[in-house]
Structure 1
């Protein structure tokens, strides 16, 4: 059971009082007057208030110090009731500014010297011993309090840094999920929207064309669902400790279904066919020697190409598009250009690069140390060019999840 700080302080105050009372019984054997009721009352007033020292450190310190001073003035053995002010000084040093705690330490030393000047030497030695004790004891307590204060500050700073790091990680994860959802939904829904409009328009006049459009809608929606399942399976993937000890099944007993593979450059052809079916002519050109790359890098190139084609569907339906994939020894380049022939003027057009899709492109590109350029072409149309550094040795033997 965890003990609360207030209970700990109360127990400490009671323990100090008990020690002081026990020590007071030895006053006569040490050559000091016997403690009477007034002496024990002052002992209690000098020790019991430390039970609330964390709530009012300075007030408790000044009160216990005053009670100790009264006890000394009455001629009793000073050692008996010194514990309360000493612990209160430590608390002031641990919880209050350095200047305040330094003054408190000086007051404790002055009280110690006062006891020596009255002839009530707390240590039972010479005046030189009293002066040494008046310096060393308050200094040690003050130093310990400062160390505790610094430790508490460092602990709070570490907690703040941990919380801030957790907030940043959560924000980054939300941005990643939002980016992935945008890439999946925007592209597929654009194709579905175009094909649904076409099917409705030619439903009576050209049934074959309508059936083809419906087939494209079915295939596109199926692919979108597969990608959503892949993403959700990653988000729902249980920790190793959440699995049952006897096997690899989740706690609910359902068999684990492997997620669909991460989209890669090998699916660019299917993407081009889907966009062609939506009414945008796409010319896919692959140069260099194709090779397997890191799954995360291939996903980055796939998503950037997907977003570029989605933008053509939205803003330039009917334009001719060229997708050029070039494999180089140290990098790959993907360029998506359109001739602008199908572009329709918009009354309120956002400036280039202001959309969430282009922002997502740049975020993905920075993640893999690549470069991305987007903008209008000099002779009409729009171009998106992606360059990603890669290695010829990168294969699919690594992690299949996107980074």
Structure 2
């Protein structure tokens, strides 16, 4: 009952984020575009602008451009638009951008397993949209933690979907001084706390593993398992 309540609350939060993101895009995005077009019109109507006027127009263009970028970032934080193309595409885009920003090589392995009685529909297509968003955020936070703390050169994201289950593993070859995640508030950073909340809401479990090669620690893995929730 407790898990169902948490899951319902998580779905409600994600649905509200989606609504807010759409409202921001439709209202403020349109207004900023209109403002930019009006500014172009004004610039053409003042061909002999004084240096002060030209500087003010330039400042306005930069202000509108900065506002549009900030709005896009807020919308992305609420719900990444790449998810509309599917979870695999969104994760591929996330890993590629993260690699470009951090310089850490990141490999994505996304696989699905179907039973013989369910060959027509992929598990990825059956997944509830809010669960797909939760997985995206978990991977995002996992990669962020690697970039911030691991001092790694390589990372990988492995996501395996079956008819009724999800298995996620995020590994890196960096520092291994980690402790198992605790569900108690205040025992970890806000990012990991949010990750644990998402996992709990979908009935999942999380643990850490220390990887070894030739008898030596060679990295760590964040391992997650949860039931697949259909749409």
Q: Distance in 2 between matches of 1:336 and 1:373?
A: 11
- Maintained 8 Å contact 1:279/1:318: no
User: What is the match of residue 97 of structure 2?
Assistant: 274
- Maintained 8 Å contact 2:87/2:132: yes
Give the CA deviation at 1:229: 2.6
User: Structure 1 residues 389 and 324, CA, compared in 2 at 3 Å: closer, same or farther?
Assistant: same
User: What is the match of residue 184 of structure 2?
Assistant: none
2:218 aligned counterpart, secondary structure: coil
Q: Distance in 1 between matches of 2:206 and 2:224?
A: 5
Residue correspondence of structure 1 range 163-242 to structure 2 within 5 A:
225-226=71-72, 228-229=74-75
- Maintained 8 Å contact 2:156/2:171: yes
Q: CA RMSD in A?
A: 3.6
How many pairs are equivalent? 147
Q: Which runs of 4+ in 1 moved over 3 A?
A: 224-227, 259-264, 349-353, 375-378
User: Structure 1 residues 365 and 276, CA, compared in 2 at 3 Å: closer, same or farther?
Assistant: same
- Maintained 8 Å contact 1:271/1:306: yes
Give the CA deviation at 1:317: 3.8
2:208 aligned counterpart, secondary structure: strand
Q: For residues 365-400 of structure 1, what are the alpha-carbon distances to aligned partners after superposition, in whole Å with 9 as ceiling and x for unaligned?
A: 111111111354353312111212115xx34xxxxx
User: What is the match of residue 219 of structure 2?
Assistant: 381
Q: Distance in 2 between matches of 1:331 and 1:390?
A: 5
Give the CA deviation at 1:360: 1.1
Higher helix fraction: Structure 1 or Structure 2?
Answer: 1
Residue correspondence of structure 1 range 3-402 to structure 2 within 5 A:
225-226=71-72, 228-229=74-75, 265-266=87-88, 267-277=90-100, 278-289=102-113, 290=122, 291-292=124-125, 293-340=127-174, 343=175, 353=181, 354-378=188-212, 379-391=217-229, 394-395=230-231
Higher strand fraction: Structure 1 or Structure 2?
Answer: 2
Q: Distance in 1 between matches of 2:211 and 2:76?
A: 36
- Maintained 8 Å contact 1:230/1:261: no
CA radius of gyration, larger in: 1
- Maintained 8 Å contact 2:158/2:169: yes
1:357 aligned counterpart, secondary structure: helix
- Maintained 8 Å contact 1:372/1:386: yes
Give the CA deviation at 1:225: 4.5
Normalization by structure 2: what TM-score? 0.53
Q: Distance in 1 between matches of 2:75 and 2:151?
A: 29
Q: Distance in 2 between matches of 1:385 and 1:318?
A: 18
Unmatched 5+ stretches in structure 2: 1-8, 18-67, 114-121, 182-187
User: Structure 1 residues 261 and 227, CA, compared in 2 at 3 Å: closer, same or farther?
Assistant: farther
User: Structure 1 residues 260 and 283, CA, compared in 2 at 3 Å: closer, same or farther?
Assistant: closer
Give the CA deviation at 1:262: 5.5
- Maintained 8 Å contact 2:179/2:208: no
- Maintained 8 Å contact 2:152/2:172: no
Q: Distance in 2 between matches of 1:326 and 1:350?
A: 24
Q: Distance in 2 between matches of 1:313 and 1:306?
A: 11
